[in-house]
Structure formats: structure tokens, C-alpha cells
Amino acid sequence: MGALAAFSALLIGVTAIGAGWQAGNSLVKVDEPRLVVLKSKHVVHLFDGENLVRTYPIDLGFAPLGQKFREGDGKTPLGRFRIATKNSESPYHRFLGLDYPNEEVVAQGLQVGLVTRGEAARIRGALAAGRCPDWSTALGGGIGIHGHRRARDWTAGCVAVADEHIEELFAVMRIGDPVEILP
């Protein structure tokens, strides 16, 4: 079993709120924040390095299974991303924008003609520089983690958590922090 598969298998069994957490408790300082989304379990785990801090229930895109490949498909993407933007004035309470589309999606999109070579080069340049990629191509964009959880899959491909949970995540996560979305 590969390292990612072993890690994924370990996480699949972890679906409860992180150790020591009770409703109303303030989130302690997190030095090395990273998020791991498990689409099949409808949860996002907040880690501090290798230590699980909290687990939050989530909503996904309206057609969540599989890989996001184009604008409007309703899928929540799979892969490794980074926080690329933070918007405290989002219509969805708070918004942590991801650097989607990533290299894998760009390569596929270029191969099937969803993006031009110029668009692919601009997206790749932004990713290499740690900037937010172009969200206006046929690959879609504007994918992130935000508030207004409804306990059903409804987003255009984002991960929605309860407003009080996005408050915590917004305070902890920084531009450049990792987010992994697994099946």
C-alpha cells in the first residue's frame, strides 16, 4: 500500500470531532495548518502538522463524485491545492479560495482542447509563482472552502462548512497553506 493510500485509509476511520474538542471551545493556536477533505465521508479534517485538531461536516458540489474537469460540472475537485485567496466579505460568509485548476487539470484540459496553450501557460505561471490561477477558463475556478452549510450537496464545486466553522478555519488558514481533497 502506498503512503497516500495508507494515509487515506487511516483518515477514513477518523470522522469524529478532533480530540478534546467540545462545542463552544475556542480553537487553540495551530502552527502548521493543513486541511484534508474526505469527499466520501463528507468531512474536512484540520491538522496541525501530523496532529488532528478538528473535524467538520461538509457539503460538496451538487454532483460531487469524480474529478472536476470543467466549469459547471458541479464536481468538487480532487488533488493537492493551496489556499490562494481569503475573502472576509464573501456572499458565503467567509471564503478560502484554492489554487484550482492545478497542473493535472490544466494538462487534461489542454489535451482535450478546453484551454488554449496561452491559457495553460498563464495558469501554470500563476501556480509556479504561488498566485491564484485564472478562474475564468472553461476548466472553471473560484473553488474554495466557505460557509453556509445546508447538510446536502449543493455548491458549484466548493466545500461548504457551517458559518462558525469557516470562522475558525478562516482565522487559522493562511495563504499558501495546503489543502488535499481525497475521494
CA 157 to chain centre: 9
Q: What CATH number should be reported for the domain whose range is 39-101+139-182?
A: 2.40.440.10
Q: Considering the entire predicted model, what is its pTM?
A: 0.84
Q: Determine contact, residues 115/106, Cβ cutoff 8 Å.
A: yes
Q: How far apart are the first and last CA of the chain?
A: 17
Average pLDDT in the 122-127 region? 96
CA dihedral 99, 100, 105, 109 (to 10 degrees): -110
Q: H-type helices in the chain, by residue range? A: 3-12, 103-112, 117-128, 163-172
- Give pLDDT tens digits for 16-43: 333 333 445 667 789 999 999 999 999 9
* Extents of the domains making up the chain: 39-101+139-182
Q: Give the per-residue pLDDT at 26.
A: 67
144 residue type, one letter: G
Average of per-residue pLDDT values in the chain: 88
Going by the DSSP 8-state scheme, the letter that residue 70 receives in this structure is S
Going by DSSP bridges, is the β-strand pair 159-160/144-146 parallel, antiparallel, or unpaired?
parallel
Task: Please spell the DSSP secondary structure of 31-74, one letter per residue.
Answer: SSEEEEEEGGGTEEEEEETTEEEEEEE-B-BSS-SS---STTS-
Q: Would you say residue 132 has pLDDT above 50?
A: yes
Q: Determine contact, residues 46/33, Cβ cutoff 8 Å.
A: yes
The phi and psi torsions of 59 (rounded to 5 degrees) equal: -110, 155
B/e letters for 91-106, b = 16+ CB within 10 Å, e = fewer, are ebbbbbbbbbbbbebb
